[in-house]
């Protein structure tokens, strides 16, 4: 069933066996020191029927990491921990890229020894942060200096090298959902008056420099980006999203990225409003590489959008939590296991709600 989803596709240099991708999902199972472990490797091995797995968001430095037990990619121990995952996925014929993450102003000072987080400008995110000692209001960030920007661009490139040494098939830049790259892109969080602020082209400058750093390690054909061009997300918004995300799409085209993934919020979307115009058609008109859409898809909707040419592939997130063999279920027309919408098991340590969901043949 859904034949369009099972045509192979070239995502840059990555040869994907189908057009069903596993979207990045933060699960909070790392060991102390943000070190990936054997349980994480088993989790991704179970889900290797996807044409490509995009890993959970992975911190590039302590400065950019503000989620308890999320993994990192800056130390040798983290590199060696990730090798367990890449080897497990590759042994069963899967492909996986590492998503690189700097949370910017969404890092609470508790993670930084009391220091203020860094962002495009001195702003404060709404709502609360998850910290090791409970939920706390976000605090004001400090504006990144030119030296900070150069350093952070270098941190991304270092993390990309860690990913390469760990055996990944490529990297994805997390440019969505109100994190640091998104904070530079959107006018509500970027109040700068230098060459990194103001016009849409200036606000894409940081994104471009980071991507160029990743390309220097991997080559453009193994670098991708995730963007969320629709409405407010974690306090980041823009009065003219078509302008800034059109500029971002032009950067992706000029750099010849392997693929672009867009978060398209649906009725139950976690991030972003649903009452705003979708920007995928604009981005598709400006970026000629493979376009991947994400969020709240059914199999039939995904097949229709791939068949019509709206996108080239679809990434599924939460359905992959309770359906480790989601692509197989879609191919067979089998029922999906219910998505257990319990954040407790999404994020708490241990195998429960993580690697104990049965595959179809077991169920």
**Whole-number pLDDT of residue 272:** 46
**Whole-number pLDDT of residue 128:** 94
Q: What is the mean pLDDT of the chain?
A: 94
The answer to whether residues 10 and 24 touch, using CB atoms and an 8 Å cutoff, is no
**Whole-number pLDDT of residue 349:** 85
What CA–CA distance (Å, rounded) separates 243 from 238?
9
Does residue 273 have a pLDDT over 50? Answer: no
How many whole angstroms from its chain centre is CA 63?
18
Closest CA relative to residue 115, chosen from 64, 177, 190, 175? 64
**Whole-number pLDDT of residue 346:** 86
Tens digit of each residue's pLDDT (9 = 90 or more) over 12-41: 999 999 999 999 999 999 999 999 999 999
**Whole-number pLDDT of residue 75:** 98
**Whole-number pLDDT of residue 3:** 93
Name residues whose C-beta falls within 8 Å of residue 103's C-beta, 6 or more positions apart in sequence. 59, 64, 65, 66, 67, 117, 179, 180
Note the pTM of the prediction, 2 decimals: 0.96
pLDDT band at 130 (very low <50, low <70, confident <90, very high): confident
**Whole-number pLDDT of residue 1:** 67
Residues forming a β-bridge with 128: 137
Positions marked active-site: 179
Name residues whose C-beta falls within 8 Å of residue 296's C-beta, 6 or more positions apart in sequence. 265, 266, 267, 268, 269
Closest CA relative to residue 255, chosen from 296, 213, 285, 226? 213
Tens digit of each residue's pLDDT (9 = 90 or more) over 335-345: 999 876 666 68
Does residue 267 have a pLDDT over 60? Answer: no
Query: pLDDT > 90: what percent of the chain?
Result: 87
Residue 187 is given by DSSP the state: T
């Amino acid at each position: 069933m859904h034949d369009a989803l099972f045509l192979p596709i070239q995502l840059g240099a990555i040869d994907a066996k189908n057009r069903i991708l596993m979207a990045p999902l933060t699960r909070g199972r790392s060991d102390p020191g943000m070190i990936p472990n054997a349980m994480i490797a088993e989790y991704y091995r179970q889900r290797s029927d996807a044409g490509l797995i995009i890993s959970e968001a992975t911190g590039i430095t302590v400065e950019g990491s503000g989620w308890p037990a999320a993994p990192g990619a800056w130390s040798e121990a983290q590199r060696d921990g990730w090798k367990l995952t890449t080897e497990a996925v590759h042994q069963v014929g899967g492909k996986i890229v590492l998503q690189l993450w700097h949370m910017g102003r969404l890092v609470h000072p508790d993670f930084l020894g009391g220091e203020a987080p860094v962002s495009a400008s001195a702003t404060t995110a709404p709502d609360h942060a998850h910290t090791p000692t409970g939920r706390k209001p976000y605090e004001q960030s400090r504006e990144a200096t030119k030296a900070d920007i150069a350093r952070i661009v270098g941190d991304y490139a270092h993390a990309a090298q860690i990913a390469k040494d760990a055996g990944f098939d490529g990297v994805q830049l997390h440019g969505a959902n109100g994190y640091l790259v998104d904070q530079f892109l959107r006018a509500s969080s970027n109040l700068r008056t230098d060459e990194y602020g103001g016009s849409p082209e200036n606000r894409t400058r940081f994104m471009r420099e980071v991507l160029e750093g990743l390309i220097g390690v991997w080559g453009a054909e193994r670098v991708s980006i995730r963007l969320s061009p629709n409405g407010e997300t974690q306090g980041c918004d823009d009065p003219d999203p078509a302008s800034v995300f059109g500029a971002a799409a032009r950067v992706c085209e000029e750099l010849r990225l392997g693929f672009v993934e867009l978060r398209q919020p649906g009725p139950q979307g976690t991030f972003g409003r649903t009452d705003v115009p979708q920007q995928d058609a604009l981005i598709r008109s400006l970026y000629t590489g493979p376009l991947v859409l994400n969020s709240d898809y059914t199999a039939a909707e995904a097949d229709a959008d791939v068949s019509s040419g709206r996108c080239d592939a679809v990434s599924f997130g939460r359905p992959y939590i309770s359906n480790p063999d989601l692509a197989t279920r879609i191919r067979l027309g089998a029922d999906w296991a219910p998505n257990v919408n319990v954040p407790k098991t999404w994020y708490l340590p241990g195998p429960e709600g993580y690697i104990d969901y049965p595959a179809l043949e077991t169920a």
